[in-house]
Amino acid sequence: MPAIGVAMLLALGATGPALGQQPRPLNYTDYSRAAETETDRWWQHFWGEEREVQLQQPSFSAHVTIKRDGSQQAFGIFYAPRLCDDIRTVNGATLTRCPARLARFFFDGKLPEVLNLPDYVCIVRIGNAPPAPSDAGWNAAQATFRKIDSQNVIILSAVLAGELVTDCTATIPLGHP
């Protein structure tokens, strides 16, 4: 992934992780159409090596950005039919496991750290598109920021038909600030 500037990440409206907060729905960017906002363009660049993004084929990402001491972090889950494994469908919403990436960008100009996660992470989709924002809490991927054993983590989970899918919860260390 090419280097992406911290200034652009700041423009995405990244916020600091409020430890112990309630789960919040992830944001979505749909790659099957042209990017409409700076945030969409940034995430299009983040996943730019994927052919679905390049060809505007059915694909999207669920994502979140956070500000930390001296850096910004971006976490994204990428959906494309060829890459993901469906788990189950309820009332037209499908729970799917997809590849995920955690990246950290530094204010001092250091090269970004990028980690492609070894395990797939769950998202919810409607057809080949992300759920509508109004579906948050009913059909959505969500993130919670916590401190566990003195380590900052992001806890990713999915809600399908209003129920938390416990076997899809992933806890990912965010590293030192």
pLDDT in tens, 64-116: 888 877 778 888 999 999 999 999 999 999 999 999 998 888 877 788 888 88
pLDDT of residue 177: 61
pLDDT of residue 7: 42
pLDDT digits (tens, 9 = 90+) for 149-173: 888 888 999 999 999 998 889 998 8
Question: What gap in Å lies between CA 152 and CA 172, rounded to an integer?
Answer: 9
User: Has residue 59 got a pLDDT over 90?
Assistant: yes
What predicted TM-score, i.e. pTM, was given to this entire model? 0.81
User: Has residue 134 got a pLDDT over 70?
Assistant: yes
Question: What gap in Å lies between CA 108 and CA 169, rounded to an integer?
Answer: 33
- Residue 22's alpha-carbon distances to 51, 146, 161, 170, in angstroms, are 35, 10, 19, 16
Question: What gap in Å lies between CA 84 and CA 79, rounded to an integer?
Answer: 6
User: Has residue 12 got a pLDDT over 50?
Assistant: no
